A and B are shown apart, each in its own frame.
Chain A
Amino acid sequence: MRRFLPVLLLFFWIENVHAQDANAPESFQIGLSTNRVAISSDFSGADLTIFGALDNADQVLARQGRYDIVVVLEGPARPVTVRKKTRVLGVWINTQSQSFTSVPMSYAVATTRPMQDITQPVMYQRLALGSENIFMRAVEEEQQRNPEKVAEFTAALRQQKRATGLYNERIGGVQFLSPSLFRATLSLAPNVPVGTHRARAFLFRNGVFVKETSAQLTIVKAGLEQRIYRTAQDNGLLFGLAAVLLAIITGWLGRMIFKRD
């Protein structure tokens, strides 16, 4: 079940009395009315909608559709180890591994057009924009000793993240509702990580990067799920005792209900 998580808009209308500044006249903002999204017990992925405003745009260019917007939602970064299986005596065993110190857990992209039509690959690289270009820091000494291996495992890491839907791309996910108002729809994977996510929007004019704006969003588990998760993390011993107690009661009740001797 895919649902819409309505994240209401909150406009930051920037008063711009000095109209038409030659270099960067556009004011560009995204806003979230809520900075918390809760994952409930029936969560199986969802769409997240972010609204934004583009003001003082060049009307001629806007009409021609020469403005492009890329919105990304970047999940919290964590250390990741990529392992590779090879065949040893007929059995598939993890034999090689490469650790990365900081990798975004999720990375959802929405764009107005296919990414290659918006601007040059060099530009994306410079902005570290797109799942191909996010910087993944490998463990330092390994990077120097064996760059080919790091490159291979980096590619595998991106591939795995895309395969599980944690890194995804939505072409046409950003739509202009009016010349100054746009809406970005991003996909949250069913296993989207909890934590602080950063929404970033990039504005391009005629294939040239103009400006970037960002907002923060926290994804949490809803009420009961969050409490279970936090107890397990913070108070493992108590959690284990509760799990055992639950098992004893369930087993005993089962016996009482289905008495057969």
Chain B
Amino acid sequence: MGIYLPIAELSVNMLVILGMGWAVGFLSGMFGVGGGFLITPLLIFYNIPPAIAVATGANQVVASSVSGVLAHVKKGTLDFKLGTVLLTGGIFGSTIGVFVFSLLRNVGQLDLVVSLLYVGLLGTVGGLMLMESVRAWRRAAGGQAPSLRKPGQHNWIHRLPLKMRFRTSKLFVSVIPVIGLGAGIGFLASIMGVGGGFIMVPALIYLLKVPTNVVIGTSLFQIIFVAAYTTIVHAATNQTVDIVLAFLLMVGGVAGAQYGAKAGQRLRGEQLRALLALMVLMVAGRLAVDLFVPPASPYSLATMGGL
């Protein structure tokens, strides 16, 4: 069933896109991530121009994050104050990111930078997560209780000035690393078309020592705004948001997420993290192969004043 994408200016199979959305939604529901880091590479593999894949991916992340955050609002596992400070930085980072995105596109290095960022970040995060989950798995098998938060332990982050109290997270930290983290992820979000949950979640846990139960809700909350902002800025400056493509992905995604969440409940935390890590590494590997394998043709065309 073909459908013409008005912005990407090509025809795609509607069922493939819906299925892609469903599969990513399933995985994101299972692991509690936005799924942007899977959607964008999948779209690129499906021959959607990277510029459109990135901007449209950001749009789809808004839908999946809204869907996910509602549950956390209800359960109260969301730190609004921390989320707001994070997103202040996020908006700032995203603005710079969209500017860099346009610049890279004009000099013809966007595809390369997007691929390199994906390979580097997914490879690192996936590798670390895999090691951590295997260790936790072993510990659990050995009968020890895993503990991520070690009270009383302070690192350099806690010596910075401008401290602020976050009640829900039971934290008293400087706003500098919080805003910096938000900005860094906002920057990546706009270049890679991701929400940044796969970086935000570990960073909140390991760097800021935020309690695990509020991490996902808070991360999702700030992602909604950063991804929404990224979508709007991309639409306004690069005209690369394909609303038809995004809508198909969203519909597939929100449906898939519900089934994924049910499947996720049957697995233990460290098993889930190990699976997610393997998946992240697979995506990184696939993108890395494309960087090194000789292309079918070394030449490519870029039309100015259009796409």
Contacts and interface: CB of A to CB of B under 8 A. Distances in A.
Interface stretch (A57-65, A91-99, A112-120): A91-99
B304 interface: yes
A160 B301 contact: yes
Interface stretch (B62-70, B125-133, B134-142, B146-154): B62-70
Contacts of A178: none
B109 interface: yes
A83 B108 contact: yes
Contacts of B306: 78, 193
Contacts of B63: 246-248, 250-251, 254
Contacts of A229: 6-7
Contacts of B4: 39-44, 221, 225
Nearest to B71: A261
Interface string B177-210: 0000000000000000000000000000000000
A37 to B, nearest CB: 14
A25 B109 CA distance: 57
Contacts of B108: 81, 83, 94, 97
Interface in A76-97: 78-87, 90-94, 97
B268 interface: no
Contact of A254 (B7, B243, B257): B257
B241 A92 contact: no
B109 A250 contact: no
Interface stretch (A7-15, A202-210, A230-238): A230-238
A127 interface: no
A148 to B, nearest CB: 16
A258 B252 CA distance: 13
Interface string A222-261: 0011101100110011011111101110111111001011
A251 B67 contact: yes
Chain B interface helix/strand/loop/mixed: helix
A104 to B, nearest CB: 11
A80 B304 contact: yes
For chain B, the bracket of interface size reads: 35 or more
A254 B232 contact: no
B299 interface: yes
A210 B239 CA distance: 46
Interface stretch (B81-89, B158-166, B289-297): B289-297
B239 A236 contact: yes
B155 interface: no
A159 interface: yes
B297 A160 contact: yes
A151 interface: no
Given A94-B112, A250-B251, A255-B254, A239 B241 contact: yes
Given A80-B304, A81-B304, A244 B231 contact: yes
Given A232-B241, A244-B59, A252-B66, A237 B298 contact: no
A105 interface: yes
Nearest to B65: A251
A226 B246 CA distance: 17
A204 to B, nearest CB: 32
Interface string B231-247: 11111110101011011
Interface string A147-166: 00000010011011101000
Given A42-B11, A221-B6, 13 more contacts: A40-B4, A85-B299, A92-B293, A94-B111, A160-B297, A232-B235, A243-B241, A247-B59, A247-B228, A250-B250, A251-B63, A255-B70, A255-B254
23 contacts: A41-B4, A42-B4, A43-B2, A78-B305, A83-B300, A83-B302, A91-B112, A153-B299, A160-B299, A191-B9, A228-B7, A232-B239, A236-B236, A237-B232, A237-B235, A243-B241, A246-B246, A247-B228, A247-B246, A254-B250, A254-B251, A258-B258, A261-B71
Interface of A: 1, 39-44, 78-87, 90-94, 97, 105, 153, 156-157, 159-161, 163, 190-191, 193, 221, 224-226, 228-229, 232-233, 236-237, 239-244, 246-248, 250-255, 258, 260-261
